Amino acid sequence: MLETLNAQYDDIISWADMYDTASLEAKKMIVNCLIKRIVVYRDYKLHIDFNIDFEQFSLGMDIISIAA
């Protein structure tokens, strides 16, 4: 189980590194594929609806199927 968690952690870190080095346009596209809707309430409370669930995230993002 520890190996699985370490592999998932490494995947998340590599995605974060890829995002950090992406152009502004690419970052906007990535966020647009991940987030469906953001609602801002009083006192800056947020409600965020994602396009993917944790299982999809943990198995790897398939941007083509998300965008379709």
Map out the domains of the chain as residue ranges: 2-67
Q: Does residue 64 have a pLDDT over 50?
A: no
Q: pLDDT of 6-44, one tens digit each?
A: 777 776 777 778 888 889 998 888 888 888 999 999 999
Q: Does residue 61 have a pLDDT over 80?
A: no
pTM metric for this prediction: 0.52
**Rounded Cα gap, residues 51 and 12, in angstroms:** 17
Q: Does residue 56 have a pLDDT over 70?
A: no
Q: Which residues are within 8 A (CB) of 31 and not within 5 positions of it... i.e. 6 or more apart?
A: none
| pLDDT the model gives residue 41 | 96
